[in-house]
Chain A
Amino acid sequence: MEQTIKKNKTKGTFSPGKVIDLVAQKRWLIPLTLIVVYVIAFAVLYPSVFLTKYNLASLLLEFSIPAFVIIGMAIQLINGEIDLSVGYVVMFSNVCVACLIVLGVPVWGAIAITVLFCALIGWLVGVLVAGVGVNSFIATLGSGMAFYGLGLMVFDYGYKYGTNNPNPNGLDLLHLPDSFKNIAQLQIGGFQLPVYYALAVIAVFVVLMSKSKYFKQYYYIGMNKEAAELSGIRVKRTKIAAFVISATLSSLAGVLLVARMGSGATTLGVGMELKAITAVVIGGVSFKGGRGTMIGAVFGGLFVYCVNNALRITNAPSNLYKVIEGLILLCAVILDAQFSKRKIVG
């Protein structure tokens, strides 16, 4: 019975209603379609620029580091919360790890301290939201601001320390050691390492989100916190874990970003939260919580960076980036609202 219905769906006549129903159920089809359209269009229009390995490598590299942030954001939205601090966590981490290295902390120690600190703050914010009941929008806006300010202070300190205590090897905040930069700048098969890190992290979280018991809990919590609690789910601690995961992933993104760039900067990562929200929402993760898939969020992210790529290829003025980004976010939210309204009766 069910099989015949399914057959009819794919084989039957092509009607707009059916397509919309299908897309409403598999929202990741939207970004995937957009990506395919983009690839075909630019392969035809700009074959000499677009169809090069260099372009593909740079597109994937651009996407790879924010992918960490996007994964965290997807978990947070499915969890029924929002995390506006991620961009500033990225910014803080990049400055912090750079500064620690300049101060003479060994590379892996600097990374560990930075990531652990961010995770700890993520845990605190999680306690504020899940335990105390503060709205996550406000809590993460506040923690983000604090991260930003802290990042600026750390940068100033590191910069002054660097100029007052010149390093014999010529290292300072703007010139980080190769041992650190190699983490992100080494290439394998023409692609820089972050591309492979991202692939691994994406694979792990796509599987965890769709197959693991623990992450399934986020769907239940995001859909109905109360019912989840009464189903024996430890809502508070699970919610807090989402904040820790999001902060940790964002912090790792910050570390990779500064390694890739080779110098710490107070502009890195700022505004990334909006890109991440755009990505996950266009990929079908809803603001209402409990809905959407990790693979959709990843496709959404890839699409957002395809648009970046397109703007670069067409030599669009850089300020236009922001306008386009904003418009895509709006479109994604409108789409989300429209699909959420659809009630499938039957």
Chain B
Amino acid sequence: MEKPILKVTGIVKNFPGVKALKGVDFDVRAGEVHALCGENGAGKSTLMHILSGVYQPDEGEIYLEGKKVQFHNQKEANEQGIAIVYQERSLVEGLNVAENVFAARQPSNKFSWIHWKQLYRETEEILKSLDIQVNPRTMVSSLSPALQQMVEIAKALSLKPKVLILDEPTAAITEKEVVALFRLIEKLKREGMAIIYISHRLVEIFQLAERVTVFKDGSLVETANVYDVDNNWLVNRMVGRDLELKRVEREIPKDVVLSVKGLCGGSFQDVSFELNRGEIIGFAGLAGAGRTEVMRAIFGADPILEGEIYLNGSKMHPQNTKDSIERGIGYLPEDRKAQGLFLEMSISDNISSAHMNQTGRGIFLDDKRLLTESEKYKEQLRVATPSVRQKVVNLSGGNQQKVVFARWLMVNPRIMIVDEPTRGVDVGAKAEIYQILREMTKKGTSIILVSSDLPEVMSISDRIYVMHEGEITGELSGAEATEEAIMRLASGIRDE
């Protein structure tokens, strides 16, 4: 058996009040992809932060190529051969590709003037070796998320690392782009790179990885060869129970609450659909198909150019978000950190942000009531935190998403639009979110689910609309929808 290139033993890391890692042994070999999975808050990220020098372990040792090493900061880890690509982008949008790849360590002459020619040449070499077709002079802001991801990886690889850590690299890119990313990973693997791959998408693990390690509650549950295990095994280890998405066939009586006719906006045209009381309709499509834009327009966040919206039979013209909320429409945005959360405010403040104007006496807030109400929803959605006074930034992704859900449960809208509600959320929290959605429909709320996760759309929705380049290309009933049928419509192939 090959000797591991990176090995850690007995890693312990404590944060005030939390044992983040409870003695972890872990290794990765050259030329393998070692996948890490586990629910949010299981300790994966903490371990990666230790490997990349952001945190220092309280106990335990790190061995790189058999030698004991210590990293005091990320630079030291980089220099010794460990590079990490975070889930969040770290590129500077206003600079070009080359400047980003060599950020802070541009080739320079003795006066510290940047050697531009060399900068572009070296960047071009790196990009070429990775088969990334991007001009080093292109502005990063003009690249698609997937290409930005590639540049991010190029940046990490320009450090010439021995170990590359990828933290959920596919969270924000489309299916097609995933293929290109996987090709790149396979290539690196063949060249002998050791890769640690963190993902919530279990399918990817079976496509890419040699070995897989499952984390739970700060401990390493098990490391196994991918060939020896299956999906159920993984889920079982991660959450301690079996989870399966099962379609529930429901008969939805026709009782239209929302009817959209010929809606046109900046990036969509002639969108018409209907939503019944208590129904969940799915909006499928590729990234950039205009689904989010349609929803934002209905919610009053973006202008409408043409078309009509009928709410309970009466015409409405969404002027602004406040107006729409008062009419009983809620919207859970796709990017929870940038659009959903007030990260450094308390959980309670986050939950009550859309409802605080409706409570209290006169111009004054009712802090006590907002606190107890928040507490109630925190309990109901099982947000893992000791107190609603905690800052949201301290929560894991799944719990953060539950906080945004709690906000809307408090408002109790009649129509709830959820945009990618389970993006970057672990399996356990996903199941809970589906449960929340179903509970909401039982109370008569109608739901519009925008999602790029096909199994999700297919199992949750009663009906599915598919969009392609700003237009609805088809409508499928939940029962007749297949992945193939949706993908055909999503790529713009209409029924013959």
Which residues from A are CB-within-8-Å of B104?
none
B363 at the A interface (CB under 8 A): yes
Give the contacting residue for A227; candidates B325, B353, B357; CB below 8 A.
Answer: B353
The answer to whether A214 touches B322 (Cβ under 8 A) is: no
Nearest CB in chain B to that of A286: its residue: B344
B155 at the A interface (CB under 8 A): no
The answer to whether A232 touches B341 (Cβ under 8 A) is: no
A233 at the B interface (CB under 8 A): yes
- Between A and B, 17 residue pairs with Cβ closer than 8 Å are A1-B386, A2-B387, A216-B365, A219-B349, A223-B342, A224-B341, A224-B343, A227-B338, A227-B339, A227-B340, A230-B331, A230-B339, A232-B354, A291-B344, A343-B393, A344-B391, A346-B15
For chain A residues 237-277, which have a beta carbon within 8 Å of chain B? none
Number of residues of chain A lying within 8 A (CB) of chain B: 26
B407 at the A interface (CB under 8 A): yes
Which residues from A are CB-within-8-Å of B344?
223, 290-291
Q: How far is the CA of A90 from the CA of B331 in the complex (A)?
A: 43
A33 at the B interface (CB under 8 A): no
Which residues from A are CB-within-8-Å of B394?
343-346
Contact with B along A209-231 (1 / 0, CB 8 A): 00111101001100110111111
Given contacts A224-B339, A232-B326, 12 further A-B contacts (CB under 8 A): A212-B363, A213-B363, A213-B364, A219-B342, A223-B344, A227-B338, A227-B353, A232-B321, A232-B357, A233-B322, A346-B15, A346-B16
Contact with B along A132-163 (1 / 0, CB 8 A): 00000000000000000000000000000000
Which residues from B are CB-within-8-Å of A1?
386
Q: How far is the CA of A171 from the CA of B16 in the complex (A)?
A: 68
The answer to whether B364 touches A211 (Cβ under 8 A) is: yes
Nearest CB in chain A to that of B336: its residue: A227
A234 at the B interface (CB under 8 A): yes
Give the contacting residue for A230; candidates B17, B301, B343; CB below 8 A.
Answer: B301
Give the contacting residue for B342; candidates A220, A345, A346; CB below 8 A.
Answer: A220
Q: How far is the CA of A211 from the CA of B365 in the complex (A)?
A: 6
Q: How far is the CA of A211 from the CA of B333 in the complex (A)?
A: 28
On B, residues with C-beta under 8 Å from A are 15-18, 299, 301, 320-322, 324-326, 331, 333, 338-345, 349, 353-354, 356-357, 360, 363-365, 367, 386-387, 390-391, 393-394, 407
Nearest CB in chain A to that of B14: its residue: A345
The answer to whether A220 touches B353 (Cβ under 8 A) is: yes
The answer to whether A214 touches B18 (Cβ under 8 A) is: no
Q: How far is the CA of A135 from the CA of B341 in the complex (A)?
A: 23
The answer to whether B345 touches A219 (Cβ under 8 A) is: yes
Q: How far is the CA of A1 from the CA of B385 in the complex (A)?
A: 13
For chain A residues 110-152, which have a beta carbon within 8 Å of chain B? none
The answer to whether B386 touches A212 (Cβ under 8 A) is: no
Q: How far is the CA of A226 from the CA of B339 in the complex (A)?
A: 5
The answer to whether B325 touches A232 (Cβ under 8 A) is: yes
Q: How far is the CA of A216 from the CA of B407 in the complex (A)?
A: 16
Nearest CB in chain A to that of B46: its residue: A345
Nearest CB in chain A to that of B339: its residue: A226
Contact with B along A1-38 (1 / 0, CB 8 A): 11000000000000000000000000000000000000
Nearest CB in chain B to that of A1: its residue: B386
Give the contacting residue for B301; candidates A211, A224, A229, A343; CB below 8 A.
Answer: A229
